[in-house]
Structure 1
Amino acid sequence: MVRQNWVATWTGTGDAYCRIADLNLNKKEFDEATEAWLCALTAFEVAKRLVAGDDPRSADVSAKVEAGLQRIGLSFGHEVECVRIACGDLGEILTCYLPAATSNLRAPAIICVSSEEEKGATLLGRLLPVVIGRGMSVLVVSHGDVANYARGESELILSHCLDHLSVRPDVDSSRIAIYGDGLSAVLATDFAAYDGRIAAAVCDGGIWNWTRSLRSVRWMTPTADGADKDILSACRSRLARRLNCPILVVAGGRGVVSVSEAIKLQADCMTARINVDVVMPQLIRGGQGEEIDNFVSSDDCIFRWLEQRLARHSTQQQVVG
């Protein structure tokens, strides 16, 4: 009952901000309207995380996010575009594209792949508050449109997305990054290793596949626990070596990477002089003892890292905090 009340409270808060945004739009107070829309999207994201996946209110909240995305462009002059990208023999996918709020400049761009349980539009609704004002474009792809293919085809689809961005007049083709949310962090790693044009990657650093392989070896070979630590370290960082770009691994929270494995990977990569950063989301303890990741601070940290890595004149490593 307590959780249901909180869902209603946050949904009601989002609805209230939507009404405020509409009032400001009518008065042509666009900055105030934009701020209200962003507050509404954040409130709806909180409500979505509190509601169970099979709860019918989950679809209602997602619909409110999609409606907000269509309206927010009226206030800051950059509407979300629905873009169909042809992927050769694999058909086509529908993506969401938000251009950077820059004029006559080629801006960096991020390909964002949603987590396995949400659509691309829902992810964009969550990311808008941290994307606006950073001078970067985002192309958001749904996890299901990329993951539901044979091995190798997912990378091909993402390459078509990168091709699309590379020829856009508002995008700097040398500054395109990939960000995988949730289980899509694995897809982001595979794609960054596959396509050398990627300038930065928020991914799992190969930890998911490494951990799965190690468990298989331990199941088949009981003596694997006593294997040489140097060999294990070399194997752990092997995939990271194939990524010719800076990478950020998000550990803990709702991600697929454990904190312990992320720390081990970073230590191994530092020894091998591979550029890997790790960030751990702040966790908030709920009223019933459950832990909820602070997605606001986590998303801000991720996009601050991306902003630094894709800066045209960035010459030195920054510390993620």
Structure 2
Amino acid sequence: MEFGAWPHVRGDLASARQGASAFLDRLSAEEDRAETDRQNWVATWTKTGDAYCRLADLKINKRAFDEATEAWLCALTAFEVARRLVADNDPRSANVSAKVETGFQRIGSALGHKVESVQIACCDRDELLAYYLPASTPNSPAPAVICISSEEETGAMLLGRLLPVVIGRRMSVLVISYEDLENHSRGQSKVLLSSCFDYLSGRPDVDSTRIAVYGDGLSAVLATDFARYDRRIAAAVCDGGIWNWTRSLRSIGWITSTADGADKDLTPAYRSRLARQLNCPILVVACGRGIVGVSEAINLQADCTAARIDLELAMPQIMRGFPDGNVENFVTSDDCIFRWLEQKLAQDPAP
């Protein structure tokens, strides 16, 4: 298979992301050459990202700042492809991750898309580090999304991945790291996330009635708990309560033993009851980097449809067969998630 890098880097973000998505969709590895293929792909996509960085620097020197921004966003996309492919034990792993983490800093310092590092004060005198990217509509309050990284990513890595998706969507994002929440109890995590909501609602550039939460990976559980706890949330990308529901089933032996008819009748009602507690539109990401299985998500959606609960599914394309895990098409998945958020956070038309 070809390495999938573009023959000429032009700084066209739409083409760059289409190329990355097409590469990931075609991705496969023969077992006897998987490691060789992977090493070649990592090298090629890293070099492609570096080429976009050089193009961005040239555009900055020519004061073509919009074109430089687009080239940097192309670079972040290329580096993210490389990061998805590099093996954990590969010495290049830290280098590729660092390129993703620091990419947004170059965009902010050189091109005016200022990413703010903010310390959010909490009621227990604790502080939470977050990254804030304001919307591109400074003259009117815009919707905002609290984004929580997966357990495998830092907040900076998540922001680097999302920048090509969110810039230009006229919404603000506040990005926090899963590791900053995991050391707290789930009750404390909900309070910390409410402090994030308070911070956003206090900003003049944010519409406090249109603030959503998005939890990636295990953070989908935190997003569910938070949306259930704080009724101000306008939309949630989360697990829809599946993690808690499955854990409850296991704790009473419903999975390892045969449930009787009454239990089977109660299961749909219990699933939909957990989702109903969120009181906002829900998007559940099934499979992929999420923690929700496809069959569980489909059952949940059917139960919620019957109960007239606004719940939708996203099922990203997964490339299987790699020794240390599957590779997800993050390009289409992230685009899908933020299109959904954009739709749910849109202002209601005037009567």
**Range with bigger deviation, 44-53 or 221-230:** 221-230
**Range with bigger deviation, 268-277 or 51-60:** 51-60
Does structure 2 conserve the Cα–Cα contact (< 8 Å) formed by 1:85 and 1:164? yes
Q: How does 1:207-218 map to 2 (within 5 A)?
A: 207-218=242-253
SS of residue in 1 equivalent to 2:135 = coil
SS of residue in 2 equivalent to 1:93 = strand
- Aligned counterparts of 2:260 and 2:316: Cα–Cα separation in 1: 30
- Aligned with 1:164 (options 174, 183, 199): 199
When normalised by structure 1's length, the TM-score is: 0.93
Q: Which letter maps to 2:225?
A: D
Q: What's 1:193 paired with?
A: 228
When normalised by structure 2's length, the TM-score is: 0.85
Q: Which letter maps to 2:288?
A: G
**Range with bigger deviation, 7-16 or 83-92:** 83-92
Gaps of 5+ in 2: 1-35
**Range with bigger deviation, 230-239 or 187-196:** 230-239
- Aligned with 1:239 (options 258, 274, 297): 274
- Aligned counterparts of 1:264 and 1:31: Cα–Cα separation in 2: 45
Q: What's 2:290 paired with?
A: 255
CA RMSD of aligned residues (A): 2.0
- Aligned counterparts of 1:175 and 1:20: Cα–Cα separation in 2: 37
Mapped pair 1:113 → 2:141: no
After TM superposition, what 4+ stretches of structure 1 lie above 4 angstroms from structure 2? 285-291
What percentage of aligned pairs have identical amino acids? 72
- Aligned counterparts of 1:112 and 1:125: Cα–Cα separation in 2: 12
- Aligned counterparts of 1:264 and 1:271: Cα–Cα separation in 2: 11
Q: How does 1:59-138 map to 2 (within 5 A)?
A: 59-74=94-109, 76-89=111-124, 91-138=126-173
The higher-RCO structure (CA 8 Å, 6+ apart) is 2
- Aligned with 2:304 (options 263, 269, 273): 269
**Range with bigger deviation, 116-125 or 62-71:** 62-71
Mapped pair 1:4 → 2:39: yes
Q: What's 1:204 paired with?
A: 239
- Aligned counterparts of 2:170 and 2:61: Cα–Cα separation in 1: 27
Q: What's 2:58 paired with?
A: 23
**Range with bigger deviation, 88-97 or 160-169:** 88-97
- Aligned with 2:68 (options 33, 48, 57): 33
Task: Check 1:225–1:6 CA distance in 2 against 1; reply closer, same or farther (3 A cut).
Answer: farther
In the TM superposition, residue 58 of structure 1 has moved relative to its aligned partner by 2.1
Q: What's 1:299 paired with?
A: 334
Does structure 2 conserve the Cα–Cα contact (< 8 Å) formed by 1:308 and 1:314? no
- Aligned counterparts of 1:48 and 1:252: Cα–Cα separation in 2: 19
Does structure 2 conserve the Cα–Cα contact (< 8 Å) formed by 1:147 and 1:187? no
Task: Check 1:314–1:232 CA distance in 2 against 1; reply closer, same or farther (3 A cut).
Answer: farther
Q: Which letter maps to 1:142?
A: S
Task: Check 1:69–1:185 CA distance in 2 against 1; reply closer, same or farther (3 A cut).
Answer: same
**Range with bigger deviation, 218-227 or 7-16:** 218-227
Q: Which letter maps to 1:130?
A: V
